[in-house]
């Protein structure tokens, strides 16, 4: 019933009471008011039925956005969004067939029932309270009427709570459909994206998802540790935990490696220490490029280069006086090498390998061979002093052995000149 219907009903009841008071005849007052109120409740019931049918019909027509056309390409973890029967169209049909999502028909039906019952009983209570108010204004109220008014107010509050709860159930079910729609066939989705989908805050959506997970609406649902992503599959969640474990292990390894590098660099000058830190960064970048580039032949070249560069910096760490020989190596050769590797990664990622891309990759591979030869020569030059010192020590040793007559030539001469 709309506002005008309620107004007409109230005017009818008031006229009946005025007529009875003016005439002093109250015999048919109760019967007339009861008949008027009954007609009003029947009209209210018809209005509510039409409202509920319109509500379900609207959802039947809309369903989920992904279910409007049978040929829609949107898919979820258990199949495509297709039109299905039921009061909520494709959404209910899809969810009822998907092992990752619970059936929400009971919640929807309960919400509609609570909303209808709450509105019906609440409307009846309002009508009765209006009657009692009019009777009170007419001077017909008594103790019993006052007590009944209090009971009706309590019933009205309870019915309003029931209607509010029913509306909440229907809203929750609708948000669940929107979450499923936002997944678009994926088994994970960021909470920010889901919040945009339903037009709610990130905090609200996070709490909403936690309740749905606890209620098993997402049968295999989880939130990640940072509570920034919804994961609806156990397999995906296990993969996430494994990746988190690997990330943590790698983080610890990097921390331990950095700690070892700090300990190893103790006692070195500030200039050499900075050079060693920069060298470690270049080595890590070369290693990352090697992981990103799948080709076996170029991977071997990059691995060989990484080994040479590591040995160069190991040599500098053992003999810091060699650092001056690495100026051009640090300022030009290593930065250029990293640029070449980045360029190769970009070329290798292209889905179509045309002639220009293939020629570019071949040129970079040849340049890596040239750089490896240059780095090998640089490493060899760092051992020049050691090789010279070794040669000097050998020469001195041979001289001393000759003076003592302990060389092979002296021993043969001594043996040939012995007694017959």
pLDDT digits 0-9 by tens, 247-265: 888 888 888 877 776 666 6
Say whether pLDDT at 48 is over 90: no
The most confident of the ranges 119-133, 134-148, 173-187, 247-261 is 173-187
Burial of 241 (0-12, 13-18, 19+ CB in 10 A): middle
Burial of 67 (0-12, 13-18, 19+ CB in 10 A): buried
Would you state the pLDDT for residue 416? 58
Would you state the pLDDT for residue 67? 37
210, 196 in Cβ contact below 8 A?
no
Say whether pLDDT at 85 is over 90: no
Phi, psi of 336 (to 5 degrees): -65, -40
The DSSP call for residue 206 is H
The most confident of the ranges 111-115, 128-132, 392-396 is 111-115
Name the more confident of 37 and 368: 368
| Cβ-based neighbours of 37, under 8 Å, separated by 6 or more | 9, 13, 127, 128, 131
Say whether pLDDT at 158 is over 60: yes
Which whole number is the average pLDDT over 409-420?
Answer: 54
Q: Which tokens in the block code for residue 167?
A: 């509306």
Which whole number is the average pLDDT over 378-393?
Answer: 67
The residue whose two tokens read 């060899």 is: 380
Chain center to CA of 126 = 49
Which whole number is the average pLDDT over 369-378?
Answer: 90
Which whole number is the average pLDDT over 133-151?
Answer: 74
Q: Which tokens in the block code for residue 178?
A: 């929107």
Closest by CA to 38, choosing from 113, 138, 127, is 127
């Amino acid at each position: 019933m709309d506002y005008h219907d309620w107004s007409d009903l109230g005017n009818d009841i008031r006229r009946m009471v005025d007529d009875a008071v003016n005439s002093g005849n109250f015999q048919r007052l109760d019967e007339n008011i009861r008949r008027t109120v009954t007609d009003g409740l029947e009209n209210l019931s018809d209005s509510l039925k039409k409202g509920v049918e319109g509500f379900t019909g609207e959802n039947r027509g809309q369903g989920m956005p992904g279910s409007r056309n049978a040929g829609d390409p949107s898919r979820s973890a258990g199949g495509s969004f297709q039109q299905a029967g039921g009061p909520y169209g494709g959404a209910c049909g899809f969810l009822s067939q998907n092992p990752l999502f619970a059936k929400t028909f009971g919640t929807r039906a309960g919400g509609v029932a609570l909303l209808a019952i709450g509105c019906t009983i609440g409307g009846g209570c309002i009508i009765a309270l209006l009657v009692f108010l009019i009777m009170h204004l007419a001077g017909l109220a008594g103790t019993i009427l006052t007590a009944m008014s209090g009971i009706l107010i309590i019933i009205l509050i309870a019915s309003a709570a029931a209607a509010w709860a029913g509306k909440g159930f229907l809203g929750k079910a609708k948000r669940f459909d929107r979450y499923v729609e936002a997944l678009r066939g994926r088994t994970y989705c960021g909470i920010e994206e889901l919040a945009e989908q339903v037009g709610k805050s990130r905090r609200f959506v996070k709490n909403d998802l936690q309740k749905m997970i606890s209620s098993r609406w997402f049968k295999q649902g989880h939130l990640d540790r940072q509570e920034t992503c919804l994961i609806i599959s156990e397999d995906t969640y296990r993969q996430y935990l494994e990746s988190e474990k690997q990330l943590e292990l790698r983080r610890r390894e990097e921390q331990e490696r950095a700690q070892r590098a700090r300990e190893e660099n103790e006692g070195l000058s500030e200039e050499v220490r900075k050079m060693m830190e920069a060298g470690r960064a270049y080595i890590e970048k070369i290693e990352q490029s090697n992981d990103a580039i799948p080709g076996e032949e170029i991977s071997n070249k990059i691995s060989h280069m990484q080994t040479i560069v590591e040995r160069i910096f190991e040599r500098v760490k053992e003999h810091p006086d060699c650092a001056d020989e690495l100026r051009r190596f640090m300022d030009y050769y290593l930065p250029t090498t990293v640029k070449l590797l980045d360029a190769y990664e970009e070329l290798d990622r292209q889905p179509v390998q045309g002639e220009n891309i293939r020629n570019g990759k071949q040129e970079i591979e040849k340049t890596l061979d040239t750089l490896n030869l240059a780095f090998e020569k640089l490493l060899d030059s760092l051992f020049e002093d050691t090789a010279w010192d070794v040669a000097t020590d050998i020469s001195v040793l041979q001289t001393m052995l000759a003076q003592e007559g302990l060389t092979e030539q002296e021993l043969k001469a001594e043996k040939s000149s012995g007694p017959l």
